[in-house]
Amino acid sequence: MKEILKLILFIELIGTTILGLYYLTYFSTWQEAFLQGFFASVSATTNAGFDITGESLIPFANDYFVQTVNIVLLILGAIGFPVLVEVKGLLR
């Protein structure tokens, strides 16, 4: 359980960092950018589809970087923990 928790938190942290830094161009403060990045990362990784802006990903309809990051997070969250743990073991 600890390994799974560390792995999912690591994936969400990487997603938060990437999206938060990228969102600095979209939001006026770094706090807002990283809050949106964190929320988007957790929402995508868990396949929850939650939205706090009321617009979901509509503002990023033509931003393929944001879409790609979300797709990668969705896939990593969807393939399941056993597969992620196995892949992590192979990378060692």
Give CB contacts under 8 A, 24+ apart, made by 22-29.
22/65, 22/66, 22/69, 26/59
> Tens digit of pLDDT per residue, the chain (92 long)?
888 899 999 999 999 999 999 999 999 999 999 999 999 999 999 988 888 778 888 888 899 999 999 999 999 999 988 888 888 888 87
Quick one: which H or E segment has residue 50?
none
Which DSSP category does 23 fall into? G
Q: Indicate if the alpha-carbon torsion angle 76, 78, 52, 57 is positive or negative.
A: positive
Tokens 């807002």, residue located:
32
Quote the pTM value.
Answer: 0.87
